[in-house]
Amino acid sequence: MRTRYEASTPENKIKAEQKRQANFQKWFVTFASLAHSRLPLSAYLQKVTDTLREVADVGSAVVEWIEGDTLIYRAASGAASAHIGTRLPTSGSLSGLCITRQQALICRNAATDHRVDRAACEAVGAVSMVVAPVVYEGRSVAVLKLISGEVDRFAQSDISILDAFCACIAETIAREDIAQENRQLVKQNASVAADLSVESSLRTEYEKRLADAMRRRQTVLDNAHVAFVSMDEAGMVVDWNEAAALLFGWKAQEVAGRELASFIVPERLRDMHRKGLTRYLATGEARMINKRVELPALRRDGSEFAAELTISEVWYEGQRQFACFVHDITDRLVATEANERLRLLINSVSDYAICMLDEDGYVRSWNDGARAIYGFTADEAIGRHFALFYTSDEQGRDRPGDDLALAAKRGRVEHEDWHVRKDGSEFWAHVILSALPNANGGEQGFVKITRDMTARRRLEELEASSRRMNEFLALLGHELRNPLAPIRNAVSILKLKASDDADVIRSRQIVDRQLAHLTQLVDDLLEAGRVSSGKIRLTTDIVDIADVVHLSVEASQPLCDERGQRIVVQDSGQPLFVNGDSTRLVQALNNLLNNASKFSPHGATITLETGPRGGSAMVRVIDEGRGISADALGIVFDLFVQEHPPGAHPDESGLGIGLTLVRAIAELHGGHVEAKSGGAGQGSAFSLWLPLAEPPVRGASAGAPPSVAASRQLDVLVVDDNRDSADSMTLLVDMLGHQARAAYDGPGALDSFDASRPQVVLLDLSMPGMTGFDVIRRMRDGGSTRGGQRVIVAAMTGLGSDEDIARTRAAGFDAHLVKPVDLPELERVLALAGRA
């Protein structure tokens, strides 16, 4: 029995069609032979069943004779031959329905067809069958039946053949009736004249019926969907049905009696056709049954197409003829070519594992991508269940079966999960399982497409890890700034407190330096988070490189002075302008100068060169320090990377962030930075390259207003949930000559604000319950003026990114102070209120 999978493939469909054509030809030859038979009715019926069973290659052929309300097995072949003489009621059977309707019927599966007598079908082994009525003089006299043990064995074309044989049986019945009448007439009339008259009448009637049968035969051929042509031994057209007329464009009357090759064979192949026909006749090759050939064929309009010919030798009225069934196989060849291209395309895909599954989930095809991803060869995978690719846990939960059921229901299943390779290793797979519907609407199989997404998953995990690290760095920086704030306030108080004690002064300076170093480390941590997350933003303008150099040297000079180092600036004397953020450029160059100072010995000279290089401005920092090894040159700009482990050199401190930040700032400006060194002890040179810009148009510009210190005593409210921070800031403000009071939470700040409106509020943002943003909104909503003047509210926070500053500005703050607050920054805010 054919499996469902085998029956659904294109190759098996082609084979089935070819077999059907071959059976049609056999039936045609048998039909021609039986049409000239002179057997008695019973022998003729048995001959029909025997012949039909043989040429149709079925289990049984039966003639059921009608007697009243019963059917009698009058002739049978095959397994049904043992039931000759069996009587069955016409009601409740397919044959009975055929008799009533006088119409041929097909049963595709007796187990599910309600029209059949299932007990009778089981007795003769009928799984599928086709029945046709034998109609004589307008009434059904018998039923011709073909029986098969296979499901869905018969098609519409089988009905046409049975109809033709039923006509022959009717003709034989007529002949028998006439013969019986003739015998009766012979008995009744002994005269020769009467016998001759009867014989003449019988012959006339027989010829008439034979002509009717021949017309029915021609009708069968004309209504066939396959082009049928026949030729005699000379190659002349004998038969030409309607399908041939549609296929070739010539009508039957136009080609009858003329050479077939001149109509359907291209001119370049006609001589070959004629020689082939001669060879067939001479060698007996023509006696080969159902010889199939493929060759170009010609239409009336001159166009050619690919044709398949099935050729059979038949004898008719003592003459040999050749019957040909012709198929236009252009679509089949195109489909075959398309299938081959698709197969090659699928096999060439290496990034995706593509395999076909049957309806039960067994692998039926396997491309190169599947071999590359799963590790199985096609021979190892085909024929095995696709549960092979699931983990043992999912197999235990029957995940493969669930996926098949869901795909059959929805048409498609898509998910990501762990899959297993041949070697047992697992990979993260993106899987699409799609159902492939067959012609009847059911699922005939599935296609499974898999992609290895392990690299993407690892990248996502890396990104998530990086995001968590950035969040941790931001939180860490914020939390570190809180305890640094009161320390900075205390140092500022010590600076304002006059003292002649050398030990006190020296201790204050030590705390000041170490606090500045710790603050710089916290700043570096936050900058690292901004660099890795791409949150550095630029405020661009036309910037003079000379200004950047001046501000950078000024910022680095104190560090160099401590180490007895000298900064030498060498410029080309030519103005250099770039389009950039002055603050960030100063930050980058300051990092390079500080780096050079840190790794250079005491008393060393640091050279800063500037000048144009093509379309770029070059700023180079050259030191006489420890130098960089060749292996480390490629990684010095990576985040948290240092050439030597921590503690290897007493002068090497920090987190390995500064150069990473320099590179990020350079790239944001469309430039780049590079490092060069001759090796250990040979010093280093860091070059910053930035695209040149057109110089700005010079015009009158107002100078920046001079800094104005607060000229009067101010009432200041300090709000911070860290009591040390709040109290130390209050003491510092008092020492600057102002009057300050502290509040330690949001409600307390609002109460103090409403009781006596201050002129300045120093407001911490991160407080439990009511944040600084909540407090300022209540202050502004309730009216934040004192004596008609606006109250200055400054945010105090451990967050100092551009986004944080923009957020406080939008919330209504007048200033943004980053903890720990330097004394000059505090004085600047107090000066704002003093000028108000």
For 704-716, what is each residue's pLDDT tens digit?
A: 444 444 557 889 9
Q: Is 295 exposed, middle or buried (0-12, 13-18, 19+ CB in 10 A)?
A: middle
Other residues' Cβ atoms within 10 Å of the Cβ of residue 779: 21
DSSP element (H, E) containing 520: helix 502-533
HSE (side-chain half, CA atoms, 13 Å) at 89: 6
Q: Are residues 71 and 136 in the same domain?
A: yes
User: In this predicted structure, which of 352-356, 653-657, 658-662 has the lowest mean pLDDT?
Assistant: 653-657
For position 703, what pLDDT does the model report? Answer: 40
Helices (H) and strands (E) in the chain, counts: 27, 29
Sign of CA dihedral 514, 516, 518, 521: negative
The count of other CB atoms within 10 Å of the CB of residue 307 is 22
The CA radius of gyration of the chain, in Å to the nearest whole number, is 51
Same domain, 68 and 211: yes
- What local confidence, expressed as pLDDT, does residue 107 receive? 92
pLDDT above 90 covers a percentage of the chain that reads 8
Tell me which range, 133-142, 186-195, 326-335, 459-468, is most confidently predicted by mean pLDDT.
133-142
* Rounded CA separation 616/577 (Å): 10
CB within 8 Å of 518: residues ≥ 6 apart: 480, 484
Q: Is the pTM of this model over 0.75?
A: no
Question: Which H helix or E strand runs over 305?
Answer: strand 304-316
pLDDT for 648 equals 47
Mean pLDDT of 14-28: 65
The CATH number of the domain holding residue 425 is 3.30.450.20
Average pLDDT, the chain: 78
Instruction: Give the closest residue to 800 by CA, choosing from 820, 786, 782, 814.
Output: 820
Asked whether residue 64 falls in the same domain as residue 210, the answer is yes
Query: ∠ CA(102), CA(108), CA(113), 5° rounding?
Result: 80
Range scoring the smallest mean pLDDT among 230-234, 338-342, 381-385: 338-342
pLDDT in tens, 383-440: 999 988 998 888 888 889 899 889 888 888 888 888 999 888 888 889 989 888 765 5
Query: Which helix (DSSP H) or strand (DSSP E) does residue 169 occupy?
Result: helix 156-188
Residues 687 and 581 placed together within one structural domain of the fold: yes
**Is 514 a member of any domain?**
no
Are the C-beta atoms of residues 798 and 479 closer than 8 Å to each other? yes
**Quick one: pLDDT at residue 708?**
42
Q: Are 44 and 37 in contact (CB under 8 A)?
A: yes
Same domain, 92 and 208: yes
Query: Would you say residue 657 has pLDDT above 90?
Result: no
> Are residues 118 and 176 both part of a single domain?
yes
Q: Which pLDDT band, with edges at 50, 70 and 90, does 26 fall under?
A: low
User: Residue range 235-256: average pLDDT?
Assistant: 85
pLDDT confidence band for 222 (50 / 70 / 90): low
**Token pair 């105090």: residue:** 796
Instruction: Yes or no: say if 416 and 405 are a contact pair by the CB < 8 Å rule.
Output: no
Read off the pLDDT of each residue in 268-296 and give the average, rounded to a whole number. Answer: 68
The whole-angstrom separation of Cα 289 and Cα 292 is 9
Answer whether residue 241 is part of any domain: no
Closest CA to 674 of 641, 638, 639, 637: 637
Output the DSSP codes for 334-396: HHHHHHHHHHHHHHH--SEEEEEEETTSBB----HHHHHHH---HHHHTTSBGGGGB-HHHHH
Residue 699: per-residue pLDDT = 46
Tell whether 672 and 721 lie within a shared domain: no
pLDDT value at residue 793 = 92
* Beta-bridge partner residues of 88: 71
Whether the pLDDT of residue 337 is over 60: the answer is yes
DSSP for residue 236: B
Here the tokens at position 546 are: 């000379």
Lowest mean pLDDT among 689-698, 768-777, 791-800: 689-698
- Alpha carbon distance 23, 52 (integer Å): 10
Q: Is residue 185 part of a domain?
A: yes
Which of 10-24, 323-337, 343-357, 413-427 is predicted most confidently?
413-427
731 and 681 together in one domain: no
Identify whether 726 is part of a domain.
yes
285 phi, psi to nearest 5 deg: -60, -25
Q: Which among 188, 221, 254 is the end of a domain?
A: 221
Maximum CA pair distance of the chain?
A: 171
CB contact burial 547-575 (16+ within 10 A = b; e otherwise): ebbebbbeebeeebeeeebebeeeeeeee
Give the total residue count for the chain.
836
Segment among 147-156, 370-379, 430-439, 507-516 with least mean pLDDT: 507-516
Amino acid 416: pLDDT: 87
Mean pLDDT of 650-657: 54
Residues 46 and 93 in one domain: yes
pLDDT of 224 > 60? The answer is no
* Dihedral sign from CA coordinates of 424, 426, 429, 434: positive
Kindly state whether residues 54 and 187 are assigned to the same domain. yes
Please compute the mean of the pLDDT values over residues 560-566 and round it to a whole number.
88
- For residue 612, being part of any structural domain is answered with yes
3-state secondary structure of 608: strand
In a domain, 511, yes or no: no
Query: Is 472 part of a structural domain of the chain?
Result: no
Give the pLDDT of residue 4. 39
| Dist CA 75 CA 404 (whole Å) | 50
pLDDT at residue 835 above 70?
A: no
The CATH number covering residue 632 comes to: 3.30.565.10
The arithmetic mean of pLDDT across residues 140-155, rounded, is: 88
Domain of 582? 536-691
Look at 89-98, 254-263, 530-539, 823-832 and tell me which has the smallest mean pLDDT.
530-539
Among 221, 252, 277, residue at a domain's last position: 221
End-of-domain residue from the set 166, 189, 221: 221
> At a CB cut-off of 8 Å and minimum separation 6, what does 316 contact?
32
**In the structure, what pLDDT confidence band is assigned to residue 718 with cuts at 50, 70 and 90?**
very high
Could you tell me if 133 and 102 are in contact, meaning their C-beta atoms sit under 8 angstroms apart?
yes
Q: What are phi and psi of 421, to 5 degrees?
A: -90, 175
Q: Which of 42-51, 163-172, 315-324, 719-728 has the lowest mean pLDDT?
A: 315-324
Query: Please, what is the Cα angle at 711 between 709 and 715, to 5 degrees?
Result: 100
How many other C-beta atoms can be found within 10 angstroms of the C-beta atom of residue 409? 11
Each residue of 588-641: pLDDT tens digit? Answer: 888 889 888 888 888 899 999 998 888 888 999 999 888 888 777 766 776 555
Distances (CA, A) of 215 to 167, 244, 568: 11, 18, 117
**Contacts within 8 Å (CB) and 24+ apart, 264-271:** 264/229, 264/297, 264/298, 264/326, 265/295, 265/297, 265/298, 266/296, 266/297, 266/298, 266/304, 269/295, 269/296
Distance between CA 131 and CA 136 in Å, rounded?
16
Q: 283: which 2 tokens?
A: 């060698």
What is the distance between the alpha carbons of residues 799 and 760, in angstroms, rounded to a whole number?
21
Q: Which residues pair with 419 in a beta bridge?
A: 390, 427
CA dihedral 676, 682, 683, 686 (to 10 degrees): -10
Q: What confidence tier does 335 reach under pLDDT thresholds 50, 70, 90?
A: low
Q: Measure Cα distances from 630 to 627, 633, 679, 682 in Å.
A: 10, 5, 6, 12
DSSP class of residue 299?
-
- How many domains are contained in the chain? 4
- Which amino acid, residue 796? M
Q: CA-CA distance, 86 to 74, in Å (whole number)?
A: 8
Q: Do 62 and 204 share a structural domain?
A: yes
User: For residue 305, which of 321, 275, 328 has the smallest C-alpha distance?
Assistant: 328
**Do residues 80 and 193 both lie within one domain?**
yes
- Does residue 56 lie in a domain region? yes
Sheet of strand 352-358: strand arrangement: 352-358, 443-452, 426-437, 412-420
Q: Grade residue 359 by pLDDT with cuts at 50, 70 and 90.
A: confident
Q: What is the pLDDT of residue 91?
A: 86
Position 153 scores a pLDDT of 87
Residue 781 pLDDT greater than 70, yes or no: yes
For residues 162-169, give the mean pLDDT: 79
Res 486 pLDDT > 80: no
